[in-house]
Structure 1
């Protein structure tokens, strides 16, 4: 959905879309930066460059390169040493939002929570039971 927004870089007013998150002037600058990064990585000797080497070789800020990766403009399958940080721990990943160890940790936490909820549910059910006596004494 299109909406009016201020550019996060220069504070200019522009119409924000799903694909364009900066104003037209800043978008042109980003496009030039993309061409610089892609031109650097296209060279055979730079295809195995790591993120910090790409930053040093092009002068393009790391945040912009990560944005290109997240948007899918730089295909990581072509560049084996590039990646982006895990949202939880910051380790280098190539797909998704969190790394395998954080995923495993989250699954473990969810399973523990589910077991605890089941235990609480059983406890509530036991408290609701009515007990009758078989005694014939009155």
Structure 2
């Protein structure tokens, strides 16, 4: 069962599950989707850019990007419908990151996963040790 949430568009309370917005906003989004899809499926509009589609249909770019990410609009059929990489703003067709940013992230993750050398582990163990001493009254102190 879904969790209770406020709609990010209108603030109305709804049960969040497969839908990320309330029922009323979902219906509005579906109507906008139909407008956008009817526009881009025409042969003359298949090469339209994100800005051109947004201006012609009066639908926000953010919503069109959402449909591209959900694969409701296939980027292979509409080659100029791109959106920005979340890290560097390069135009991409799918996902959240461009190939360069994804590779950089992958390399960074691999570096942190590398096993440590024996010397690095010994140095780390030395830093983690806690020494205790006993005072005159035989009480432990750290």
Gaps of 5+ in 1: 129-138
State yes or no: 1:123 paired with 2:122.
Answer: no
Q: Using the alignment, how far apart are the partners of 1:108 and 1:17 within structure 2?
A: 34
* Secondary structure, aligned partner of 1:101: helix
Gaps of 5+ in 2: 126-142
Question: Could you say which residue in structure 2 is the equivalent of 1:34?
Answer: 33
How many residues are matched?
124
Question: Larger % of helix: which?
Answer: 1
TM-score (norm 1): 0.78
Q: Using the alignment, how far apart are the partners of 2:109 and 2:102 within structure 1?
A: 11
RMSD of aligned residue pairs (Cα, Å):
2.2
Q: How does 1:15-30 map to 2 (within 5 A)?
A: 15-18=15-18, 20-30=19-29
Cα gap change, 1:49 to 1:114, in 2 (>3 Å) = same
Question: Could you say which residue in structure 2 is the equivalent of 1:134?
Answer: none
Q: How does 1:92-131 map to 2 (within 5 A)?
A: 92-113=91-112, 118=116, 121-124=117-120
TM-score (norm 2): 0.76
